[in-house]
Chains A and B, each alone.
Chain A
Amino acid sequence: MEHIVLTNGLKKSFKTQGKTVEAVRGVDLAVRRGEVFGFLGPNGAGKTTTLRMLTTLLTPDAGEATLAGCDLLKHPQRLRERIGYVSQAGGSDRGMSAWENLVLQGRLFGMNRHNAAAQAKALILAFDLEAIVDRKAATYSGGQRRRLDVALGMMHRPQLLFLDEPTTGLDPQNRARLWEEVRRLRDSGVTIFLTTHYLDEADALADRIAIMDQGKIEAEGSPRELKKQIAGDVVLLGLSADGAHNEKALELFSTQPYVREASYEQGHLRLYVHEGEATLPEILRLLDHAQIGLKTISLSQPTLDDVFLRQTGRSLQEA
């Protein structure tokens, strides 16, 4: 399998108020050509810093990377011609129309007037911007402006498109619509590298994901593979008992052969078990026998949040 992004030990730290913060602490990534690669992690995990290094906006303190056949450190200028980047802020100029924005972007990549206009026309159709093409971007809705942002990133036909938190701030309808655009771009052969802190987004959109936390990659694989590592189902028990009982319950279940892993957090006992449906009666019997009060019980398939929780000891929602 051909890799379009390969990084080795990327590091970056910042000095703020005399203290050194290690934002990215040795990141190794391998992104395959033609896939949607999801970069998942809580805010402040180092996703954007990593993205900025890969898009030549920040120089890494250490490590190396090859993107689209270009060495990041040796040929940043050539690399810029092959990648597209849509930042969290967007990047479209609100004082200009979609048309003016797109044509200028093409010209900055060295296209002549004619080619820039032709490509702008194609993108205006593809991203459904015809109705607003001559209006100033300042008058666009959030979804319209986001589509223009992504179109700007595609103006020079990059092989690899970076999207930093592309759906943050969008309503559910526009979010779904942008997911469709991303899938369409992937189907046309563009590799998409996107960061997100939404679990469902990574799960629904990405062919493979990397989970980042506190400057490091904690797991990498397809959503299905990662969830399979959890192996089995998740049983969540809401206990009515006090601290002593919780300890007792944790101890009790940790020793059961069908429980792969047990953990306790905020009044809930979380069990990773084989064949949840079959073990539920056994769990209930055991609790009854030990006289531990039960308020709620639920059984679910593992989610990416379970993967995150297992790797980092925290839930992504609370991270």
Chain B
Amino acid sequence: MSFFSNLQLYYVRKVKESLHNPGFLFMAVGTPLMYLLLFAPMLQHFTGMPGFTSGSVLNVFLPGVVVVIAVYGGLYVGFGLVDEIRQGIIERFRVTPTSRLALLLGSVLRDVSGVLVQTLLITLMAIPFGLKVYWGGFIIVMILLAIISALFAAFSYALALRLKSEDAIAPIIQGISLPIMLLAGFLLPMEMAPHWLQVAAHFNPVYYAVEASRALIGGQVNTPVVFQAFAVLLPVMALVFWWAIRSYKTAVA
């Protein structure tokens, strides 16, 4: 059986799992809506401040929010895997003649799909509120978000396989998610930050994604921030996947 038919089976299994979960559907639509209705209105007064100089405040705010959705859409998936390990499902799959990479990627692609659907929804919902979308740039934003959510999902799954306990992975995930979010300038642009914070942000891969997304949605495709984002994120993703695949091959699930 080919790798792609393995991948398809594992992917469809996870997609069905999501669609059967009413909580997931609610969160998929509810989260973006809450950001738009409960937070975006506060930003109206920022018009003209550092980082908010051009166009609608939503053009600064929305690219940040979709990156957050991508990070969280990946980072927390390990909890589900711990449960599958406990039920013996992963062990059962590991004694079938299917590819371990397909098992990992089937789940990761489901997580990426969820993030992309959410991104599309929130973007369409934001247009009536004043968002100006340059669709050519938006497609590249989607590629960046796919990379980010895949990276964090693979990291989360590998962590779950190695530690096999919600209690062990929760502090690690929470411990890294907060600095990553704060140092990415996703709610307020880093231009407003003091110099030392701006320097610190440059060590955060997610920061580059936020900067690139803002440029891309506004129509600036051929700019250094976009190239920087890919130059930083692709190697990080390769590293994380290498580690995750190793975990799937060796971990005693």
- A52, B88: Cα distance in complex, Å: 13
**Chain A residues within 8 Å of B13, by CB:** 96, 104
Asked if B88 and A91 sit within 8 Å, CB to CB, the answer is yes
Closest to A90 in B: B88
Of A55, A89, A90, A92, which one neighbours B95 at CB under 8 angstroms? A55
**Chain B residues within 8 Å of A77, by CB:** 97
Asked if A90 and B93 sit within 8 Å, CB to CB, the answer is no
**Chain A residues within 8 Å of B95, by CB:** 55-57, 80, 83, 85
Give residues 209-223 of A contacting B (CB, 8 Å): none
Of A57, A78, A108, which one neighbours B252 at CB under 8 angstroms? A57
Asked if A93 and B252 sit within 8 Å, CB to CB, the answer is no
Name which of A58, A93, A109 has the most chain B CB atoms within 10 A of its CB. A93
**Chain A residues within 8 Å of B87, by CB:** 89-94
- A104, B253: Cα distance in complex, Å: 20
- A28, B22: Cα distance in complex, Å: 51
**Chain A residues within 8 Å of B9, by CB:** 104, 107-108
A-B pairs with lowest CB-CB distance, top 5: A89-B88, A91-B92, A91-B88, A110-B1, A87-B88
Give residues 68-106 of B contacting A (CB, 8 Å): 84, 86-89, 91-98
Add 13 more A-B contacts to A56-B94, A78-B97, A90-B88 (CB < 8 A). Answer: A77-B97, A80-B95, A80-B97, A88-B88, A89-B87, A89-B88, A96-B13, A104-B9, A108-B96, A108-B98, A109-B96, A109-B97, A152-B92
Interface residues contributed by chain A, number (CB under 8 Å): 29
**Chain A residues within 8 Å of B92, by CB:** 85, 87, 91, 105, 152
B17 on the interface (CB 8 Å rule)?
A: yes
- Pull 25 A–B residue pairs with CB atoms less than 8 Å apart, ordered by A: A55-B95, A57-B91, A57-B95, A57-B252, A57-B253, A58-B252, A77-B97, A80-B97, A85-B91, A85-B92, A87-B88, A87-B91, A89-B86, A89-B88, A89-B91, A91-B89, A91-B91, A91-B92, A92-B88, A92-B89, A95-B20, A96-B16, A104-B13, A105-B92, A108-B98
- Minimum CB–CB distance from B249 to chain A (whole Å) comes to 10
- A162, B25: Cα distance in complex, Å: 39
A81 on the interface (CB 8 Å rule)?
A: yes
Asked if A80 and B96 sit within 8 Å, CB to CB, the answer is yes
Asked if B93 and A108 sit within 8 Å, CB to CB, the answer is yes
- A77, B1: Cα distance in complex, Å: 12
* Interface bin, chain B: 20 to 34
**Chain B residues within 8 Å of A110, by CB:** 1, 97
**Chain A residues within 8 Å of B16, by CB:** 96
- A57, B93: Cα distance in complex, Å: 10
Asked if B97 and A95 sit within 8 Å, CB to CB, the answer is no
Asked if A95 and B17 sit within 8 Å, CB to CB, the answer is yes
**Chain A residues within 8 Å of B6, by CB:** 108
Give residues 6-23 of B contacting A (CB, 8 Å): 6, 9, 13, 16-17, 20
Asked if A81 and B91 sit within 8 Å, CB to CB, the answer is no
- Minimum CB–CB distance from A220 to chain B (whole Å) comes to 25
**Chain B residues within 8 Å of A78, by CB:** 97
- A81, B1: Cα distance in complex, Å: 12
**Chain B residues within 8 Å of A83, by CB:** 95
- A87, B17: Cα distance in complex, Å: 23
- Minimum CB–CB distance from B206 to chain A (whole Å) comes to 31
Closest to B251 in A: A57
- A109, B9: Cα distance in complex, Å: 11
**Chain A residues within 8 Å of B97, by CB:** 77-78, 80-81, 109-110
- Minimum CB–CB distance from B94 to chain A (whole Å) comes to 6
**Chain A residues within 8 Å of B1, by CB:** 110
- Minimum CB–CB distance from B133 to chain A (whole Å) comes to 37
Per-residue CB contact flags for chain B residues 88-128 toward chain A (1 = under 8 Å, else 0) read 11011111111000000000000000000000000000000
- Minimum CB–CB distance from A173 to chain B (whole Å) comes to 23
**Chain B residues within 8 Å of A90, by CB:** 87-88
- Minimum CB–CB distance from B19 to chain A (whole Å) comes to 11
Closest to B93 in A: A108
